Chains A and B, each alone.
Chain A
Amino acid sequence: MLKFFTRSNTYFLIEKIIRFINSIFFLILLVALTFALFLSPLDYIQGDVVRIMYVHVPSAWIGLGCFSFITFLSIFNFIFKLKNFFLISKSLAPIGLLFTCLAIVTGSLWGQPTWGTWWAWDARLTSMIILMFFYLFYILVLKYFKHQEEYAVKASSIIAIVGSVNLPIIKYSVDWWNTLHQPASIKITGSSSIHSSMMVPLLLMLLTFLLYSALIFLMKYKTEIIRIKKKNIKRL
């Protein structure tokens, strides 16, 4: 199965997927924005400000998801020593950083009208800031060991594995501590407390962000493959 993840097997697919995403992206974005800004109802307490949820929540999910994925890939890389896992992690990290920053900024913009403050050193917010720093360390390490790939792989994997300790803290911070941040409204197991009229736009925005992330990831991954091939062109 691991043979499937070799660069030569995936390269041709990448171009096809990029074209496919490009062809459907704007249509899905338009539908998602229509739902998020026009069709979704107002919250009975928060009013229109609840619409920030449609960009804040998917951003936070993608920020967390990317780091979880990077952690798994780092562990697999330690076990299987497959360079491709490192390239995938390297391409995912900037996307994770972008969406973590966006979750923090949009959360702050949501906090001001609902909590009366831009920022509080609350457990959920602080753990998200820590996640952002882990992403920054990860990317800085990759830049620092740009010409020593072996060190870059080891150091970045260690950062990802250490940083993964923060992931359950982010998830359960709202249950473990008294926080300004509300508890989770959407649960994979158990019933969600969000109405379907708000759930649909949320899922549509999530789909849009996922497609965008896939697009950026594939372009970054393609760049990495070309960079490696260019470096080793004489040895091909």
Chain B
Amino acid sequence: MIANFITMNGYGIFVWASFSIVFISCALVYIKTRKTLKKYERNFLLEVKNLPNQEKNRILSNSKIVQQILATSPKIK
């Protein structure tokens, strides 16, 4: 039964190749997208961290979106 499932009556190579290509491509795109997002988040946090305190407070009080980015991003080490 298992062998039959793997060979799929001789069509296994086509079926498994299709599913593998789809899932490997999707996984690679996911990893790359996530990596890029984390890089941008890290750089943004560093940029904010390196600002003088007065400037930092001004930006935080003026920009709702910066507050949200900081609230949802992981903390930098």
Contacts from A to B (Cβ < 8 Å): 7-8, 11-12, 15, 37-38, 47-49, 51-52, 55-56, 59, 94, 98, 101-102, 105-106, 109-110, 112-113, 212, 215-216, 219-220, 222-223, 225-227, 229-230, 233, 236
Contacts and interface: CB of A to CB of B under 8 A. Distances in A.
A229 B18 contact: no
B18 A55 contact: yes
Interface string B1-35: 00001001101101101110110011001100110
Contacts of A55: 18-19, 22
Given A215-B30, A216-B30, A230 B44 contact: yes
A112 B14 contact: yes
B21 A105 contact: yes
Contacts of B30: 212, 215-216
A12 B69 CA distance: 8
B9 A236 contact: no
A112 B15 CA distance: 11
Nearest to A94: B29
29 contacts: A8-B65, A11-B65, A15-B68, A38-B5, A48-B12, A49-B11, A52-B15, A55-B18, A55-B22, A59-B22, A94-B29, A98-B29, A102-B21, A106-B18, A106-B22, A110-B14, A216-B29, A216-B33, A219-B33, A223-B33, A223-B36, A225-B65, A226-B40, A226-B44, A229-B65, A230-B40, A230-B43, A230-B47, A236-B62
Contacts of A101: 25
Contacts of A56: 18
A52 B68 contact: no
Given A8-B65, A55-B19, A229 B14 contact: no
B25 A98 contact: yes
A37 B19 CA distance: 10
Given A12-B68, A48-B9, A56-B18, A229 B44 contact: yes
B53 interface: no
A225 B70 CA distance: 13
Given A94-B29, A98-B26, 9 more contacts: A8-B68, A15-B68, A48-B8, A51-B15, A52-B18, A105-B18, A106-B22, A222-B37, A226-B44
A220 B33 contact: yes
B54 interface: no
Please list the 3 inter-chain residue pairs (A to B) with the smallest Cβ-Cβ separation, ordered nearest first. A48-B8, A49-B11, A15-B72
